[in-house]
Structure 1
Amino acid sequence: MTAGATAASRELATVELLDESDVVVLRQVGREAAEALGLERQDQVRLATALSEVGREVASGGRGRAVLAVTGGPVPELVVHLSGAPAPGTGRGEVTGVAAAQRLVDRVDLSVRADGDRLVVLRKALPEGRPVASQRLDAVRATLSRPRAADALAELRVQNTELVRALEALAAREQDLVRANEELEETNRGVLAMYTQLSDELEETNSGVVALYAELDERGRQLAAANDAKTRFLRSVSHELRAPVNSILGLASLLADGDLDAEQRVQVGYLDSSARSLLGMVNELLDLARAESGRQHVHRVRVDLAALLTDLAGTVRPLLRPGVDLHVDVPDGLDVHTDPELLDRVLRNLLTNAAKFTDTGALTVTVSVPADGVGVVVAVADTGLGIAPEHLDAVFEEFYQVPNRLQPSVKGTGLGLPYARRVAEALGGSLDVTSEVGRGSTFTLTLERTAVPTVGRVLVVDDDEASRTVVRGLLGGSAAEVVEARDGSEALTLLASDVPDVVLMDVRMPGLDGPATLREIRADDRWAALPVVLMSSLDGPPLDGVPFVGKSGLDATTLLRVLREATGRTAP
């Protein structure tokens, strides 16, 4: 056995493998080298076993060698090169011990040299992960270079000792595994019990939630049914009361025209004023029922806010108490697309309500456009009694009246503000209030400032329902309203009740077709100047000088362009 060094690695020892006894020496040297380089006992045994498995086969040909070295790379390794000639009758590349060695060390490489010798390289990484100092390598070489006898019996004892230790470690691990399995089973039982408990609780909770949702749905249906019943009741009662109240007013008028003394005239006057108050309440009930039912018809047109508020201010000023002023601040030329009649009702309600509860100061109407330009805000402020915080939400409830000790004679029905909020919502807006007792209230109406339609109100005349649906969709928000007729006769009936801005009419229809209907329209002075556009699946216009649009491939841009040209409107 010799020691030395090479350029690629630093050699520790060399063992000549001539017979079985040399394999015992190789095993001893490998174990000692592993121990000296700091490998754990288990890794020492693994390396020694791998060397004995491979070394026995390498030495079988009677000529072999094992060289132990340490590499000098970034990850130092203990490397053993075993080379030798194969035994007679053995394949050149057959080394069955390699398979066992591969399970014991980090890496095993097998190759055959040009002279026919086999070369097996075993590699095992050192634990420190850094190059081994030269002084330590010298000490390892000195340890490995001492003479040793190939005592197979002693080595067998060492192997038995190592085996006993391995069995003891295995038994300890088995006991640890048994304990771990028992603990895991116990944990699993606890988890299973907890999961079962949680599942039961969750199922019980889900059942409760389902029952709660079912109860809420039932309550919702009951409330909806009650609300519908209330609305029907209000509408029915309002209609039923209106006739007798009108009769009372008529009779009071007849009595006032008769021969009455002064006292009787006073009494008839009370009768007339009471009947008119009752009629006003009935009308408010009817309006509220209509708004709550969702059947409030909204007819949107272009509305000049400045003109609407100017007219409204003129009718409200006579209601103001002496010394109370009315100020209206609205930008000129501010138009909105909404229902003017419904908007007038909301604002009139707010102004008359403010006038009723304002003794001194002023009523101020301010119109503004938010910074984003999306909507319009109309604020009606007064310097009246104000509303306490606890009553702010209740003022929009039906029949609720804010307690008023300062003006006990001022009373109302409690329907005006609820109705105003319902109408504001029908217009696509909202109505809110802020107030301070003794300083006044401000009611804020917010409306969406939708684009004003560019083609006004369109009457579509076509016997094909699918075609009417397509046209209605193409007009979209560009028309203020789309009215439909199934033939020329129905179109003429609709014209007699409400004249649209333009008529879009199919050419081919049963009964009174498009050209015949057009002649009827032109023959009537009421509609002679009404713009009419014909449409058809034909290739060209059937009448000269009449605007025409083809149905084939019709799109919104083309349709709107033709309608604007016919009505003399320009694109926004």
Structure 2
Amino acid sequence: MASLIERRQALHRSLQQVRQQNQSLTSQLETLQPLATVGSLMCMIAHEVNNLLTPMANFADLALRHPEDQELTQKALVKAVKSSQQACKIMESLVNMAHGKQGEKTAVKISQIIGEVFTCLARDLSKDGIEVRLDVPGDLEIYCVPVQIQQVLMNLILNARQAMMPGGGILTIVACRSDGGVCIEVCDTGPGIPAQILDRIFEPFFSTKDRARASQEGGGLGLGLAFCKLIVDSHKGRLTVNSRPKTGTVFQIFLPNPADPAPELPRPERA
């Protein structure tokens, strides 16, 4: 009898030690979680700034190589300054998000945002064999933090370009009014995303790109789409994807009107 009681007491002591260890581990995880968030945030900032540093360097290089052409040099330097200002805004915007601040929303024309994206990209996609097709009403506006949605579209356009390299293809951007808001689609005619990983593409640090090739192009960290989803979610919108092998990929952004919540979106279908 005494032996049974002793075994029970020993078992209770063991259970108590396990509980204490679990509590200690939980406390450590709670302490480390903000650090993990900061780490992810810093990686996202680096990813987005890198997207802007490349065209800045290209503009500066263009100015240095043609000092005799004052008009060209001035245009290149103006665009370099604009890209640097954009980088500052992105960093400020992400840091504000880390502190729980959304940023100031305003009504802005989608065509204006898309125009600024292509200006910042400093890429002539036709030289890559890519035809750009735009179907965006000139007066169509969205209510958003402009710098954030500009970066979302930049990421999606860069991803579409990389998906269609080196063979080229068609990049289509469509925008229209939808029930309770505005829908924007970015479509490419690349090889598509395998169905078995489609549900994972918005996960941080998950990438579908070839590591060696992506490294040469300055990408492949698997943060661009995670960043896009973070931004669209913060606007109470939806970011969805549909992809078919050998056909291409469609990313669909829904941004609600100021007073309307985002409805559940059907999966986008290609024409």
Pick one of 358, 365, 370 that aligns with 2:164: 358
Contact 1:292 1:422 in 2 (8 A): no
Other-structure match for 2:76: none
| Aligned CA-pair RMSD | 4.0
> Take 2:116 and 2:258, find their aligned partners in 1: how far apart are those partners?
23
Contact 1:301 1:337 in 2 (8 A): yes
* Paired AA for residue 172 in structure 2: T
Residues 356-384 of structure 1 deviation map (CA, whole Å, 9 limit, x = unaligned):
221322100000112x3x11110000011
Structure 2: distance between partners of 1:301 and 1:238: 24
C-alpha distance in 2, partners of 1:288/1:397?
21
* TM superposition score normalised by structure 1: 0.30
Q: Aligned-pair distance for 1:233? A: 3.8
Whether 1:417 and 2:225 are equivalent positions in the alignment is yes
The alpha-carbon deviation at position 310 of structure 1 amounts to 2.8
CA distance in 2, matches of 1:416, 1:301: 24
Distance 1:289 1:221 in 2: 27
Cα deviations by residue, 1:196-232 (Å, 9 ceiling, x for unpaired): xxxxxxxxxxxxxxxxxxxxx9999876654322023
In the alignment, is residue 298 of structure 1 matched against residue 136 of structure 2?
no
Q: Distance in 1 between matches of 2:133 and 2:33?
A: 39
Q: What letter matches 1:386 in structure 2?
A: G
Return the offset for 1:344.
0.6
Matches within 5 A, 1:84-483: 225-234=31-40, 290=95, 293=98, 295-316=100-121, 318=123, 320=125, 321-359=127-165, 360-370=168-178, 372=179, 374-402=180-208, 404=210, 411-450=219-258
- SS at the partner of 2:138? coil
Larger Rg: 1
Structure 2 distance, partners of 1:238, 1:379, is 23
Are the aligned partners of 1:384 and 1:441 in contact in 2 as well (CA < 8 Å)? yes
CA distance, structure 2, for counterparts of residue 287 and residue 415 of structure 1: 18
* Structure with bigger RCO (C-alpha 8 Å, 6+ apart): 2
**Relative to structure 1, is the Cα distance of residues 231 and 384 closer, same or farther in structure 2, using a 3 angstrom cutoff?**
same
Output the amino acid matched with 2:245.
V
Aligned to 1:130: none
Runs of at least 5 residues in structure 1 that lack an aligned partner in the other structure = 1-216, 247-256, 258-282, 452-572
**Secondary structure of 1:357's partner?**
helix
Asked if 2 retains the 8 angstrom alpha-carbon contact of 1:302 and 1:337, the reply is yes
Equivalent position amino acid for 2:133 in 1:
H
The answer to whether the 8 Å contact 1:302/1:338 transfers is yes
Which residue identity is paired with 1:305?
I
- Contact 2:44 2:223 (C-alpha < 8 Å) held by counterparts: no
Distance 1:220 1:445 in 2: 37
In 2: Cα distance, 1:235 partner to 1:391 partner: 24
The CA deviation string for residues 514-548 of structure 1, in whole angstroms up to 9 with x for no partner, is xxxxxxxxxxxxxxxxxxxxxxxxxxxxxxxxxxx
1:312 deviation in Å? 2.4
Q: Check whether the contact 2:135–2:174 (CA below 8 A) recurs between aligned residues.
A: yes
Looking at structure 2, the residues matched to 406 and 438 of structure 1 have their Cα atoms a distance apart, in angstroms, of 22
| Matched residue SS, 1:398 | coil
Is the CA contact 1:378–1:444 (under 8 Å) kept in the aligned structure 2?
A: yes
CA distance in 2: counterparts of 1:333 and 1:218, whole angstroms = 57
Is the Cα contact below 8 Å between 1:357 and 1:384 reproduced in 2? yes
Whole-angstrom distance in 2 between the partners of 1:393 and 1:218: 34
How far does residue 442 in structure 1 lie from its aligned partner after superposition? 0.8
TM-aligned CA distance change 1:296 to 1:375, over 3 Å: same
Q: Give the Cα–Cα distance (whole angstroms) in 2 for the partners of residues 449 and 322 of structure 1.
A: 36
User: What is the number of residues matched between the two proteins?
Assistant: 195
Structure 2 gap ranges (5+) = 1-22, 54-63, 65-87, 260-271
The verdict on how the C-alpha distance between 1:222 and 1:432 changes in structure 2, with shifts beyond 3 A counting, is: farther
Equivalence for 1:276: none
The percent identity for this pair of structures is 25
Q: In the aligned structure 2, how far is the partner of 1:220 from the partner of 1:330?
A: 50
Amino acid at match of 1:331: P
Deviation by residue 1:471-506 (Cα, 9 ceiling, x = unmatched): xxxxxxxxxxxxxxxxxxxxxxxxxxxxxxxxxxxx
Q: What TM-score comes out, normalization by structure 2 length?
A: 0.59
Higher helix proportion, which one? 2
